[in-house]
Structure 1
Amino acid sequence: MTEAGAESKLKVIGRGSCVMKDFVQKRKLSFMGHKDGLQSMASVVFTALFCILCGIVLFVWPDMSARIVCMVLGAILVLMGVIYLVSFFSTPPGTFMKQIHLALTIVFVVIGVWILLKPDFVISLIPVIMGIILILHGLYDLQQAVYLGRAKYSFWWLALVFAGLTIALGGVLLWNPFEAMSVAIKVIGIFLVFDGLSDLWIFSMARRITRQIREAVAESMEESLRSEEDIID
């Protein structure tokens, strides 16, 4: 092969390599916000399990005093705020999930501290507060459902249904049609269990899709490198 031919061949290979790098970079950027959010797996799973546990406790013992419920609820919210604060610092800057974690941290900590300082005033607002929490969780689940839809996951619509139900349940608590506080607490327990279970399912599906995307990108890069090596040989 002449020197000019070899140089031309290397230029073609270089252009092909650049095209593949651009393709891989675009694929990574398309899902980067979601991947960064899913890196905080421990906080998401812990929060979901905590909701399930609290829901079971409230359902089994609905007649506990409202003051105790307020104090426990305030402590839970502060703890959840701390968890999301840790996720905020562990998420790379400039991502959508970092903004979500910061917003959740502020909301949960402010409401939690307020409940701990003013339990008597908050007793009548327990359903409203839990309604707000469920709506926030539903919006987070809605964002994950959109991610699953963009990733062409076949059951993305089920995640969308779960997110919609969570938001609707939060709306029911805001409306608060329950006359007896014990009934309201029992219903809150059921809603919390549903919220925790749906969060676990949606998160597991989103994590699976993210893993498949990473494997596909890695496989594309390996195939590109093998093709370039064959051309050079």
Structure 2
Amino acid sequence: MFKHFWSRSASISMALLYVLLGLVLILFPGLTGTVFCWVLAIAALAYAVSRFWFFYQARKDGFTAAGTLTLGLLLAAFGIFCIARPDVILSFLPLTLGILMLVDGIGKLPLAINGLSLHSPYRFPLLLSALLPLALGIVLIANPFGAAKAVIVFFGVSLLLDGILDLVTAIQTRRAEKSEYKDIR
């Protein structure tokens, strides 16, 4: 299981994606937060438009669909609020990111424990790639309403380090597999 996980190209792709996203978050924290709110607003407004269209079609067919209209209005209000007050939306971002980091760390913990029990040469990068997101997630959850830019940079550093550690582990595992394959031949 251990070798299968790290030999997949998806693991390397995800590690590279983490590194790239981490760099973007570190270099452009204010813009990243604003873009996040714009994307959220666009998604909410697009869904609101679809609810308004559904309401219109339902009314044309003789149905009331008042819940659809209400949902559309709430989503439209939320979309407008995201555009008008991104700072309020971003104040909840640290808690959300903390939960995501905690889930990521918990998800990697069995792999790290497996690496430790097998005395894998990659056990320390594995352990760090599980414990770092766990620790950072706990910190973000403990103090979620700090400055949004600082949290975005903090999350960017976390993603960058997590991606680098995953990448190092994946590369080392691939090298070990190649040398084992050469030894077999």
- Please, what TM-score do these two structures have when normalized by structure 2? 0.59
For residue 127 of structure 1, give the secondary structure of its aligned residue in structure 2: helix
Q: Contact 1:145–1:202 at 8 Å: present in 2 too?
A: no
1:15 alignment partner in structure 2: none
Identity %: 27
Distance 2:39 2:162 in 1: 18
Distance 2:32 2:114 in 1: 41
Aligned counterpart for 2:25 among listed residues 46, 49, 58: 58
1:34 alignment partner in structure 2: 2
Distance 1:52 1:130 in 2: 16
- Please, what TM-score do these two structures have when normalized by structure 1? 0.49
Structure 1 residues 65 and 59, CA gap change in structure 2 (3 angstroms): closer
Deviation, 1:213, is 10
1:183 alignment partner in structure 2: 150
For residue 93 of structure 2, give the secondary structure of its aligned residue in structure 1: helix
> 4+ residue runs of structure 1 moved beyond 6 angstroms?
none
Structure 1 residues 67 and 57, CA gap change in structure 2 (3 angstroms): same
Q: Which amino acid counterpart does residue 123 of structure 2 have in structure 1?
A: W
Give yes or no for the alignment of 1:199 onto 2:166: yes
Structure 1 residues 195 and 164, CA gap change in structure 2 (3 angstroms): same
Deviation, 1:153, is 2.1
Based on CA coordinates, which of the two structures has the bigger radius of gyration?
A: 1
Aligned counterpart for 2:15 among listed residues 48, 62, 67: 48
Give yes or no for the alignment of 1:166 onto 2:136: no
Give structure 1 stretches of 5+ with no counterpart.
Answer: 1-32, 74-116, 223-233
Distance 2:21 2:89 in 1: 18
Structure 1 residues 61 and 191, CA gap change in structure 2 (3 angstroms): same
Structure 1 residues 212 and 60, CA gap change in structure 2 (3 angstroms): closer
Structure 1 residues 148 and 185, CA gap change in structure 2 (3 angstroms): same
**Stretch of structure 1 that moved more, 124-133 or 43-52:** 124-133
